[in-house]
Chains A and B, each alone.
Chain A
Amino acid sequence: MKKGKALETEVAEHKQEEIAFFGKITAAATHEMKNVLAIIKETAGLMEDLVILSPEMPASLREKCQSTLSVIQNQIKRGVDISDHLNWFAHCTDVPTASMDLSTTAAQMIHLAQRFARLKGVVLEVEPSEASITVQVRPVFLLMTLFTCIRCCLNALSPGSRIVLAPEEFDTGSAFSFLLKEKDARPDALFSALSADAAWSDLQQMVAALEGAVQWVPDGPCIRLQLPEPLA
């Protein structure tokens, strides 16, 4: 019977295999979704072409057809966008650790969490860094950490607020800063609401597991997730 460290290692390996399997199937499904969207796009496009090439069609009907087809094309774009971000997310499970670009990660995370923000009436934005900042991390765990931080912010902020996710580089390492923009907000009240949230302690533990730290910056105000040293 396996004991202690050996069992722990085996469990961790199985967990990684399970995550990788989930990612592989999801990535394949997003590929198929794109094929479906490509078929809908070309079929709707063909209908658009036929409408344009049909002079006998009454103008009012032509306009109605074109506006309907334009709704289809916009939804295809939306579907492709969702599929692309989901594909990126699924491929994060390919390897246990990877070098991740902070700006790309922030932009992808903002898209993936957009629905949660929309339901709370909060705007999620990204402010990409001009410099390329990379860290060697467990990709899925980093995304979970960012999402936990977004969840804390969404629970503390009122509708109409904005969260701006900005990767930053310091002499001591790199960080994700979550700038919180709420009308008439008082930083101390905001921090009280954040730290009272059940997910706040989870966030502290997750960032610690990444060998980083959570910092509250009242001047901003912002939450700064400090990460290990950037890679050269």
Chain B
Amino acid sequence: MKIRVLLVDDEEAFVEPLSQRLWMRGFDVETVLNGEAALETIGQNELDVVVLDVLMPGKDGIETLKEIKRMRPLLQVIMLTGHATVETAIEGMKLGAYDFLMKPTDVEDLANKIVEAHSIKKDHEERIRKAEIDRIVQSKGW
């Protein structure tokens, strides 16, 4: 199954070519242009990785990240930042973001980070599944 990616950035002219390039590399990509739309999409869809711009009008990257982690703790977030916002991206990592990349990104670096982030998510899901199976086995006394 393809890795499901949500790309969040207020620059449509940036999001469009990047989403097509990620699609060409085998990812299932959705795009939105602000934090509110990102949260709505996350609430309605199963996703694996969110690529999130730090500086956006309206709900900024950090606020959006906090909401994402509250709604879907296992969903992995990669922050995109310009030079003025590296400290914000570090704050984002403290709040649970998987990593951050500087803009302009190299698409291959981004693709690699998405794959790594997805593998972390899969690993967490697997461990939770095993723990739940153990719990059921113990509760049934099998």
Contacts and interface: CB of A to CB of B under 8 A. Distances in A.
A198 interface: no
A87 B83 contact: yes
Interface stretch (A33-41, A181-189, A207-215): A33-41
Interface in B51-85: 55, 82-84
11 contacts: A31-B82, A38-B11, A42-B14, A42-B104, A45-B17, A45-B21, A45-B107, A49-B21, A76-B104, A83-B83, A91-B84
B119 interface: no
A35 B20 CA distance: 18
A150 interface: no
Main secondary structure of the interface of A (DSSP, over half): helix
Nearest to A46: B17
Interface of B: 11, 13-14, 17-18, 20-21, 24, 55, 82-84, 103-105, 107
A177 interface: no
A31 B21 contact: no
Given A42-B104, A43-B17, 10 more contacts: A30-B83, A38-B103, A39-B11, A39-B14, A39-B17, A41-B104, A43-B13, A80-B104, A83-B83, A91-B84
Contacts of A84: 83
Contacts of B107: 42, 45
A46 B14 contact: no
Interface of A: 27-28, 30-31, 34-35, 37-39, 41-43, 45-46, 49, 53, 76, 80, 83-84, 87-88, 91
A93 B117 CA distance: 38
A43 B20 CA distance: 10
